[in-house]
Structure 1
Amino acid sequence: MQENLGQDNSTPPDTSKDTGENVKKDFQGLLGSVKKFLWELLDIRTNTDQQATKEAIIADIPFKGHTSWILICSIFIASIGLNANSTAVVIGAMLISPLMGPILGIGMSIGINDIDTLKRSLKNFGVMVVLSVLTAFLFFKFFPLRDESSELLARVAPDIRDVLIAFFGGLALVIARAKKGTIASVIFGVAIATALMPPLCTVGFGLAIGNWDYAAGAMYLFTINTIFIALATFLVIKLLRFPMVRYVNSQRRRFISRMASLVAVLVMIPAGITFYNVFQESLFRKDANSFVDEKIATYQFSGEGRFLEDFTDIEFQDGEDPFLEVVFMGNETIPDNVIATWEAQMKEYPKLRGATLNVVQGSKNEAADQLKYVNELYESQKNMLSSKDEKIAFLESELIRLNKGTQGQIPFSEISLEAKANYENLARLGYSYLISTDFDKTDTIPVFEVSWKKEAGRSQTQKDVVKLHEWLKLRLQNKDLQIKEVILD
């Protein structure tokens, strides 16, 4: 009994170690399942037809015969769509254009070390660019209507989004090309998204009207698209491990391999520089727009004044002397201390440090300039006006406000000549606005400063001040204007 009791009191076996090992095995199994799922989800190597992909890309490289005429027709259609500001027509032109062939050929030939295909791709790429620009140039040169539509102007200032669209569009295109049974919808979608044709049409437009900035900006956008589509093609070809072209002559093989590597580096360097510059400009524009929305647009006018947000001009200029221009309209002047505060607040935005703020004020412009702003304001907003009645109401309100602004402007040159003719003792006449407040309201008061000749008697000048004041109030129909005497040294 004592022995049995001793055995019953013995310590039970420890199972915590076995439990920990089981949990660890289950976790490892879960990770393996997730890894397998992701591999099957994202792997594109197993369903790739390398030979068919290579043959399809090479077949699309040449520009001759039918392909050339298809390109010419699509360029004409795109030019008409850009001229008519029709997005649907531009999309249709991009769907039928054969522009992708040489670009994919460049990326693939560098990736597989095929110098002959690279030469053929570059030659046909040059033919494609020249033929496209020449066709667009002839259209815009001889077509009687050459309006600068928003569709055209959208292709002269690339930003970071264009870089990303070109790169991921190129990835999607070459992945679709590599799949067994090419996905046609992807090819059409990439043709629309990357928009190779509209920039070339805009280059022709810029050359036709003699605007080199338009032509250069559009060619820059086309170059961005080309470089990043070719880069994406190169990376996918390397990822899929397409077989390298072999040469019998080992010396020639090494030379071609080095040349292909050099071309790849030359493509990647401008791609990286372009991405950096466009990214910096994008950050600058983001800070500039935030500054305008948070500081400029919130300014409260006490009288007739308006901030024309549509005329805000943001210029990065490759980081050299960037500036921000804002436009105000009306008869109320922005005080200098407010402008100084805005300039100081720009330093709160990292990318705006070193940038210049230009404030264009309507009250300091001639009436003709203000009418120009009204016309430009209408043109910029007319697409958002849905009916004739809204257009008429919009124009009438702007003209009424403009008339109020011009009524508040004083014809100082005429006033000074009349005053000189009526008051022979008048030596000097000045004019300015005084902004004052009693903390309940703010007033803008016109103030005339007068100085009299030293030989004039004080009694006479006192009478002249009273008469001049009454005459100015009557002449300018403003009972609030004031006169201030200044003694000449």
Structure 2
Amino acid sequence: MSENLFAEDPKPNQDSGDDVKRDFKGLLGSVRRFLSELLEIRSNTDATATKESIIADIPFKGHTSWILVCSIFIASVGLNANSTAVVIGAMLISPLMGPILGMGMSLAINDIDTLRRSLKNFAVMVVLSVVTAFLFFYLFPLRDESSELLARTKPDIRDVLIAFFGGLALVIARAKKGTIASVIFGVAIATALMPPLCTVGFGLAIGKPWYAAGAMYLFTINTIFIGLATFLVIKFLRFPMVRYANSQRRRFIARVASITGILVMIPAGITFYNVFQESLFKKQAQEFLKETIEVYQFTSSGRYVDNLTKIEFVEGGTPLIELVCMGDELIPENVINTWRVQKNEFSRLKDAEFRILQGGRDDSEEKFNYVSELYEKNKAELLNKDEQIRLLEQTVADLTKSASKQIPFQNISAELRANYQNVTGVGFSYQMLTDFKKLDTLPVFELKWKDGVRQNEKNSDLQKITKWLKVRLQDSTVVVKEVIP
């Protein structure tokens, strides 16, 4: 009896635990419903209208062809003038997206006729764009290698991500009832299909096929990942498959579409992997540079030229990290060996070649010795003490002037060869000029060019080399000219 009086009733605790469970389940249900309403896109999708609009944008003929030609010309001018605003304007009027969306959608719904039409118009689009850009850059007299052009010659992981998520945004916007035009314009700018095609034409026009190959690679990446994003979204939205009366033909078409989709995804996956590996390599290389050369303290005239640093990732080959240092101060060999050890501590840099291009000591000591020998030779021929003093003062003045114009020719030629591939030879001499009032001595460099280099490229390099030598030698009187055969 007493045990029953003092026993605890378990029901209050059980009721409390059940209430907590019910509240938690209710919270999870509310979050699930909120996320479903926030992210659900199938209910507001118009599959029929989306399919019709994508198919309508596939053909390249008539007005569409002329719009493409005009937009290519505008983009080429913008790239040539290094104007981002003009390039963006050209991308807004460009009709390049149509065939790419058509390919992705046709693979998703087994529409072989649309796939065939998309591929044909895609080929027409690429050829027309490249030919137009080629003609522009071949005939246009100004063909500078602007930063806008060079930025389209080598893709990285960011280009892959931009193309994929840009493609997702574009297809989702096209599938919505009442297409979001601003999204389409934004994707046209972000994925940047047109500038790489212009750069392909530029590379072919100036005789640098590696520019064209790099730009075409970037364009291919954008195309593949936009098409892949289209395929995945159409599949997710469950667009109706194309039905064929002949069941055998239907199965054949389905197999062809599936195989084609897999064949497209394989290079897409390989490309993403390679670009991702390159990005990881460059990230570790930048970290390595921050811990070594960027914190190294030169004691005198040495200087690390960071914009000439070369970081090259070679898939299946030997990567390269190359640094350029200018000036007369050498980095000690023990310091370089320490950096090599630090490089091997980074997992992706172990097999990379590490190279430092740097200037050596000048020949000022040899010149001092030469002047001393000259003085000793002439001293015996002096007639008197006053003549000795006059000659000594003149020698000191000449030595001071010579020391202020020291030209480390060996270092200059090595740096010139490393940075300017079109130059095959360099000469140097002092040229004396006078206006019959005063006498000036100018340092003159003469350059010999590789055969086949265009005159505008020579002029551009001459300007760059002149500016560089004036800064390098701290002498505004430096003259650079071409050797006339």
With the length of structure 1 as denominator, give the TM-score of the two structures. Answer: 0.75
Q: Is the 8 A contact 1:82 1:149 kept in 2?
A: yes
* Amino acid corresponding to residue 336 of structure 1 in structure 2: E
Q: Which residue is 2:327 aligned to?
A: 330
2-structure distance, mates of 1:359, 1:50: 59
> 1:77-476 residue pairs with structure 2 within 5 A?
77-363=74-360, 365-368=410-413, 399=470, 402-403=473-474
* Amino acid corresponding to residue 345 of structure 2 in structure 1: E
2-structure distance, mates of 1:234, 1:255: 19
1-structure distance, mates of 2:125, 2:467: 50
C-alpha deviation, 1:43, in angstroms: 0.5
Q: Is the 8 A contact 1:374 1:398 kept in 2?
A: no
Q: Taking structure 1 as reference, are residues 373 and 259 closer, same or farther at Cα in structure 2, changes over 3 Å only?
A: closer
Q: Is the 8 A contact 1:113 1:245 kept in 2?
A: yes
2-structure distance, mates of 1:147, 1:109: 41
C-alpha deviation, 1:91, in angstroms: 0.3
**In the TM superposition, what whole-angstrom CA distance separates every residue of 1:397-432 from its partner, at most 9, and x where no partner exists?**
98466259xxxxxxxxxxxxxxxxxxxxxxxxxxxx
* Amino acid corresponding to residue 115 of structure 2 in structure 1: L
1:76 maps onto 2:73 in alignment: yes
C-alpha deviation, 1:13, in angstroms: 6.5
**In the TM superposition, what whole-angstrom CA distance separates every residue of 1:85-126 from its partner, at most 9, and x where no partner exists?**
000000000000000000000000000000000000000000
Q: Taking structure 1 as reference, are residues 304 and 178 closer, same or farther at Cα in structure 2, changes over 3 Å only?
A: same
* Amino acid corresponding to residue 95 of structure 2 in structure 1: P
Q: Is the 8 A contact 1:136 1:204 kept in 2?
A: yes
Q: Which residue is 1:413 aligned to?
A: none
Q: Taking structure 1 as reference, are residues 179 and 333 closer, same or farther at Cα in structure 2, changes over 3 Å only?
A: same
C-alpha deviation, 1:369, in angstroms: 5.3
Q: Taking structure 1 as reference, are residues 308 and 264 closer, same or farther at Cα in structure 2, changes over 3 Å only?
A: same
Q: Which residue is 2:460 aligned to?
A: none
Q: Taking structure 1 as reference, are residues 16 and 143 closer, same or farther at Cα in structure 2, changes over 3 Å only?
A: same
Q: Taking structure 1 as reference, are residues 375 and 123 closer, same or farther at Cα in structure 2, changes over 3 Å only?
A: closer
Q: Taking structure 1 as reference, are residues 55 and 334 closer, same or farther at Cα in structure 2, changes over 3 Å only?
A: same
1-structure distance, mates of 2:231, 2:3: 78
1-structure distance, mates of 2:115, 2:102: 7
With the length of structure 2 as denominator, give the TM-score of the two structures. Answer: 0.75
Among all aligned residue pairs of Structure 1 and Structure 2, give the percentage whose two residues are the same amino acid: 70
C-alpha deviation, 1:235, in angstroms: 0.2
1-structure distance, mates of 2:86, 2:261: 36
Q: Is the 8 A contact 1:78 1:201 kept in 2?
A: yes
Q: Taking structure 1 as reference, are residues 403 and 257 closer, same or farther at Cα in structure 2, changes over 3 Å only?
A: same
Q: Taking structure 1 as reference, are residues 7 and 362 closer, same or farther at Cα in structure 2, changes over 3 Å only?
A: closer
Aligned alpha-carbon RMSD (Å): 2.4
C-alpha deviation, 1:317, in angstroms: 2.1
Q: Which residue is 1:43 aligned to?
A: 40
**In the TM superposition, what whole-angstrom CA distance separates every residue of 1:357-393 from its partner, at most 9, and x where no partner exists?**
11111337433555799999xxxxxxxxxxxxxxxxx
Q: Which residue is 1:23 aligned to?
A: 20
Structure 1 runs not aligned, ≥5 long: 377-394, 405-489
Q: Taking structure 1 as reference, are residues 232 and 9 closer, same or farther at Cα in structure 2, changes over 3 Å only?
A: closer
1-structure distance, mates of 2:3, 2:265: 80
C-alpha deviation, 1:343, in angstroms: 1.5
**In the TM superposition, what whole-angstrom CA distance separates every residue of 1:200-249 from its partner, at most 9, and x where no partner exists?**
00000000011011000000000000000000000000000000000000
1-structure distance, mates of 2:207, 2:188: 29
1-structure distance, mates of 2:232, 2:108: 8
Q: Taking structure 1 as reference, are residues 303 and 238 closer, same or farther at Cα in structure 2, changes over 3 Å only?
A: same
Identify the range of structure 1 (51-60 vs 317-326) with the bigger mean alpha-carbon deviation: 317-326
- Secondary structure, aligned partner of 1:104: helix
**In the TM superposition, what whole-angstrom CA distance separates every residue of 1:319-372 from its partner, at most 9, and x where no partner exists?**
411101100000011222222222221111111110001111133743355579
C-alpha deviation, 1:180, in angstroms: 0.3
* Amino acid corresponding to residue 258 of structure 1 in structure 2: R
**In the TM superposition, what whole-angstrom CA distance separates every residue of 1:57-101 from its partner, at most 9, and x where no partner exists?**
000000000000000000000000000000000000000000000
Q: Taking structure 1 as reference, are residues 262 and 17 closer, same or farther at Cα in structure 2, changes over 3 Å only?
A: same
1-structure distance, mates of 2:124, 2:156: 27
2-structure distance, mates of 1:18, 1:402: 88
* Amino acid corresponding to residue 289 of structure 2 in structure 1: V
* Amino acid corresponding to residue 402 of structure 1 in structure 2: L
2-structure distance, mates of 1:303, 1:98: 57
Aligned residues: 383
- Secondary structure, aligned partner of 1:366: helix
1-structure distance, mates of 2:228, 2:7: 73
Q: Taking structure 1 as reference, are residues 253 and 370 closer, same or farther at Cα in structure 2, changes over 3 Å only?
A: closer
* Amino acid corresponding to residue 208 of structure 1 in structure 2: A
1-structure distance, mates of 2:56, 2:107: 17
C-alpha deviation, 1:290, in angstroms: 1.2
- Secondary structure, aligned partner of 2:41: coil
1-structure distance, mates of 2:4, 2:166: 76
1-structure distance, mates of 2:467, 2:280: 39
Q: Taking structure 1 as reference, are residues 349 and 8 closer, same or farther at Cα in structure 2, changes over 3 Å only?
A: closer
2-structure distance, mates of 1:184, 1:36: 29
Identify the range of structure 1 (54-63 vs 11-20) with the bigger mean alpha-carbon deviation: 11-20
1-structure distance, mates of 2:324, 2:6: 94
Q: Taking structure 1 as reference, are residues 206 and 31 closer, same or farther at Cα in structure 2, changes over 3 Å only?
A: same
